[in-house]
A = this chain, B = another copy of it.
Amino acid sequence: MKKIVEKILNSKKILIISHENPDGDAVGSTLGLYFGLKKLNKRVVPVLPNKVPQIYSFLEGAELIKTDFNPKDIDVAIILDCSDIGRVESLKKKLMKIPIKINIDHHPSNFSFGELNFIDPTSSSTSELVLKLLNELNVEVDKSIANPLYVGIMTDTGSFRFPNTTLKTFEAATYLVRHGAEASYLAKMVYNMKPLKALKILGRALEKLKKKDHLIYSVLLLSDFEEFDASEEDAEGAVEFLNKSREADVAVLLKERRKNYFKVSMRSKDSVDVKKIAMKFGGGGHINAAGFEIEGEPEEIIESIIKEIKVERSNRDN
């Protein structure tokens, strides 16, 4: 950490970058660090490989985030929330031209690809780590910093519900609220501003729920999306709701992308490592949240998942 602090203090122009398909933590940690380093009078270039999702576009400074950058003159790149550098694939070549890369992340699978690394898998989010770094840098945290970092913590913990929620999480949240984070306003903007069609497509997924073995699942067909004029993005997060069921260990949502081709999202409570299952189908993810893509008939796909779970279980029991 000391080396990272020194490097930042000695740099003039700093790139901040996070991963493709940015989530609340990617956007939040990028913006929080951006406003923090601005307080140190650094020249800062905030970048995300894709446009900031509409849901986070209300955050102060979201319009300043670029989708590309010129590596010239940049002394150091701070790469946030990326378990590997492949998460910024499209900008990787340019990134490699920057002399020093600082890697700040909370994913346990991060293999320290930076010249300097600050990895803490016991942290709820990268935003929590950025807060730590800013404190080390003696940056005075104000609302412009506290709000995005709070969003990062809030979204990565599912509003303080996921198992990554610890005492440290609450200490960080308390600190941020004390320094200007508007907790309930931010929750309203992120969680209570869904388009009608997103609620309808979630409703369709829930209404069609089925249970087989220890698995609960639902299938959203192209015809469902068409009926509500909804896109796959509108069904984002729907699988979290399937996981609210007490009757199942694993929740699976199939979203049809084109005829008989599905994006499969899986969530588990405790007992099943869905990442292992997803990897068997060429996908990946975390122990409790993973996914893959596959061609086939929905019921057959579900059957093959159940089969793999059984194999996985018997491997573990032996």
Contacts and interface: CB of A to CB of B under 8 A. Distances in A.
Interface string A141-177: 0000000000000100001111111110111011001
Contacts of A313: none
Interface string A192-233: 111110011011111111010000100000000000000000
A189 to B, nearest CB: 9
A247 interface: yes
Nearest to A157: B184
B177 A162 contact: no
Nearest to A163: B184
B188 A247 contact: no
A116 to B, nearest CB: 31
Interface of A: 154, 159-167, 169-171, 173-174, 177-178, 183-184, 187-188, 191-196, 199-200, 202-209, 211, 216, 241-247, 269
A285 to B, nearest CB: 18
Contacts of A167: 174, 177-178
B192 A165 contact: no
16 contacts: A159-B159, A160-B184, A161-B188, A161-B191, A163-B184, A165-B184, A165-B187, A166-B183, A192-B243, A192-B246, A199-B242, A199-B244, A200-B207, A200-B209, A203-B204, A206-B206
A169 B174 CA distance: 9
Contacts of A203: 202-209
Contacts of A243: 192
A195 B246 contact: yes
Contacts of A206: 199-200, 202-204, 206
B159 A193 contact: no
A132 to B, nearest CB: 16
A159 B243 CA distance: 17
Contacts of A195: 245-247
